[in-house]
Structure 1
Amino acid sequence: MLDGSVLVTGGAGYIGSHAVLALLDAGHRVVVYDNLSTGFDWLVDPRATLVRGEIEDDAHVRATMRDHQVQAVMHFAGSIIVPESVSNPLKYYRNNTVASRALIESAVVSGVKHFIFSSTAATYGTPVRVPIAESDPTVPINPYGTSKLMTEAMLRDVAAAHPINYAALRYFNVAGADPQQRAGQSTIGATHLIKIAVEAALGKRETVGVYGTDYDTPDGTGVRDYIHVSDLAAAHVAALDLLIADPAKSHTLNAGYGKGFSVLEVLDAVDRVTNHKLNRVIEGRRAGDAGELVADNRAILATLDWTPQRADLDLIVRDALAWERKLSER
């Protein structure tokens, strides 16, 4: 356990807010640093301290690190929509790469010892094999993946030059919500498939788009490895424990379950859980989308003290649906 606190950037957002819960539940002191451009202050657990600011604001970030005795950073802040990264690449290089560089420098200057980075399976691009291992080529096919891979490179070089270690967790598709309904995906206009599907099941959307039916997959639709957000948050805490225990080593790990589901299989699961037939609209492929992304997760299971607890598609859908109903009551 750290003597000081953990700074969670983007801790008022979807994945960040769940990491905050996992850290607090494990007994850590937590400071959330967020500009609230896409996050919500009401998603931040009251046990944490919320500081509003931009991560490029070096003076403010470093003052926050000093005032709260920050010893570790979990970095979730950034832009995440693949098609948008294709149409507006400079936004992604600013928000994901340039801002991350500023944060990493602030961490080094402030003597932070540990850094956990929310990376992505988009760093692999079109995979040479499935499931994808961490040692496979990283050739992103969209600026989102490139922006994250550039940050991984910065962390690798900085860790070689300074007394800081890191874990880069390459997420596959994150879904679901806190089982206790303390947090969930709340972004208006979110692009996550399960979020869109449960919105449609509750009448918040009329249709669900299926983007591409001609991929080289069993049913022609894109296949993804869906990981429950609470399992992912637990993996972050386990990664922090590992960095603390062995400060000489850094790690890059896939965060997924090792099993893929197609878009149509996900929509079938939502139909099954809700007993409601979704209205599906077939669309063309979206720019920057790969056909199949499934994790080889053997390394994360072997490296971290972490065992998934909610690796079931219907369970992920049920938790997402329960949160969506709660949002409807706000």
Structure 2
Amino acid sequence: MTWLVTGGAGYIGAHVTAALLAAGEPVVILDDLSTGDARRVPPGVPFLIGDAGDPATIRDTLHRHRVTGVMHLAGSKSVPESFHKPQWYHRQNVTVVENVLDAMAEAGVTRLVFSSSAAVYGLPASPTVAEDAPARPINPYGQSKLDAEHAVADSPGVSWIALRYFNAVGAAAAHLGDHGTTNLLPRVLRAARTGEPLTVTGTGLPTPDGTAIRDYVHVADIAAAHLAAGAAVTTGRRARVYNAGTGTGHSVLDVIHAVERTTGTPAPWTPGPPRPGDPAAVVADVTRIGSELGWRARHTLDDAVRSAWLGAAANAA
């Protein structure tokens, strides 16, 4: 197998690339570096800077490197931004996938692992959601991921798995860390490092401590889920959606306290209004992926916080 990892210089994509290489799988990376970082790309790995949605680029990449499977992680993921740019999000997360699928059909590539999101569930009826729960996105980002899943499912001859990520955290190595400014853990770590308070959006929610509960899964575990999914689409015909989470929820204050335990430093915060339409709690039911792919998350929240903190310290040095 030779895997094309689109978005392979991104936070999750770089971890997937590292996991594939460690498993002895040849990898080619295609990334436009709009959010990726070339420093995450391992030496010696073929790396093309380009748009995965450009038909000529994707066709040429598949043919030139004799790609036999695609792990598609390229895309955009900001919920607030998606409200301001819904058509652009459709292009980034749906049209791009359609172009990748067309190029795969032309090249005879029939194996795909697709990066989806728990955002497809919207406001679930219960805090813990299984894959057969109604998919009712409440923002353009979630809708774009669901539409892309449908495009994948409608592709004849493709053996595919879609992984619905929950909240990726942590780092397997310092240079692979999350350098973004929107995800919760980097923001809490920044508050601990600088003393500047972060805003906690919603402190009166119907949860034990009033803050939102999410399923925080170590990014190294998400990478391992891609290995399991890649093996499954390679050894047999698949057409399946799986949650990639831990099955355990943690509140925003839990994350703050975990950072304070790790750093020995207060992480100051101030209360803010809840974000409109934000569910109080969303946690993965991981029964299906465990029973069918033999995968489970192996890292704790404290593991993830510790790895992120060490990575941040190394990058600051």
Whether these two folds match at TM > 0.5 is: yes
Worse-superposed segment, 317-326 or 194-203:
194-203
Equivalent residues in 2 for 1:170-189, closer than 5 Å: 170-178=164-172, 180-187=173-180
Gaps of 5+ in 1: none
> Does 2:24 align with 1:31?
no
CA contact (8 A) 2:12 2:223 kept: yes
Cα shift readout 1:5-55 (whole Å, capped 9, x = no counterpart): 100010000000000000000001100000011111111111421101111
TM-score by length of 2: 0.97
Structure 1 residue matching 2:30: 3-state secondary structure: strand
Matches within 5 A, 1:198-213: 198-203=189-194, 206-213=196-203
Please give the alpha-carbon distance, in whole angstroms, between the structure 2 residues aligned to 1:90 and 1:215: 32
Structure 1 residue 61: deviation in Å? Answer: 1.1
The answer for the alignment partner of 1:192 in structure 2 is: 183
Q: How does 1:76-91 map to 2 (within 5 A)?
A: 76-91=73-88
Distance in 2 (alpha carbons) for counterparts of 1:255 and 1:70: 25
1:257 partner SS? coil
Between 1:227-236 and 1:127-136, the stretch displaced more is 127-136
- Matching residue of 1:256: 245
Going from structure 1 to structure 2, the CA distance change for 1:10 and 1:287 (only over 3 Å counts) comes to farther
Contact 1:199-1:324 at 8 Å conserved across structures? no
In structure 2, the residue matched to 1:273 is 262
Runs of 4 or more above 3 Å deviation: none
- Can you list the C-alpha shifts for 1:126-151, whole angstroms capped at 9, x where unaligned? 00122100011000011111000000
Hey, what's the Cα distance between the residues in 1 that align with 2:242 and 2:101?
19
What is the CA distance between 1:182 and its match in structure 2?
A: 4.6
1-structure distance, mates of 2:45, 2:20: 10
- Per-residue CA distance 1:47-77 (angstroms, 9 max, x = gap): 4211011112111211110010111111111
SS at match of 1:252: strand
Note closer, same or farther for the CA distance 1:27–1:234 as it changes in structure 2 (3 Å cut).
Answer: same
Distance in 2 (CA, whole Å) between partners of 1:216 and 1:98 is 38
Give the CA deviation at 1:200.
2.0
Cα distance in structure 1, aligned partners of 2:14 and 2:276:
29
Partner residue, 1:301: 290
* Aligned partner (choices 203, 218, 223) of residue 228 of structure 1: 218
Once the two structures are TM-superposed, the CA of residue 206 in structure 1 deviates from its matched residue by 1.2
Q: Partners of 1:41 and 1:196 in 2: how far apart?
A: 23
Does 1:322 find its partner at 2:307? no
| 1:46 aligned residue | 43
Kindly provide the CA deviation profile for residues 163-189 of structure 1, in whole angstroms up to 9, marking residues without a partner as x. Answer: 2111100011000001x43511123xx
1:286 to 268, 275, 281: 275
8 A contact 2:174–2:312 mirrored in 1: no
Find the aligned partners of 1:114 and 1:52 in 2 and give their Cα distance: 23
**Match for 1:245 among 235, 252, 274?**
235
* In 2: Cα distance, 1:245 partner to 1:18 partner: 23
Q: Give aligned-pair identity as a percent.
A: 41
Q: Which runs of 5+ in 2 are unaligned?
A: none
Structure 2 residue matching 1:213: 3-state secondary structure: coil
- How far did 1:296 drift? 0.3
Matches within 5 A, 1:86-165: 86-158=83-155, 161=156, 163-165=157-159
Deviation, structure 1 residue 217 = 1.4
Counterpart-to-counterpart distance in 2, 1:138 and 1:44: 34
Letter of the 1:30 partner, please give it: V
> Which letter maps to 2:148?
T
Cα deviation per residue 1:64-114 (whole Å; 9 max; x = unaligned)? 100101111111111111121123222211111111111121112111111
Distance 1:94 1:281 in 2: 36
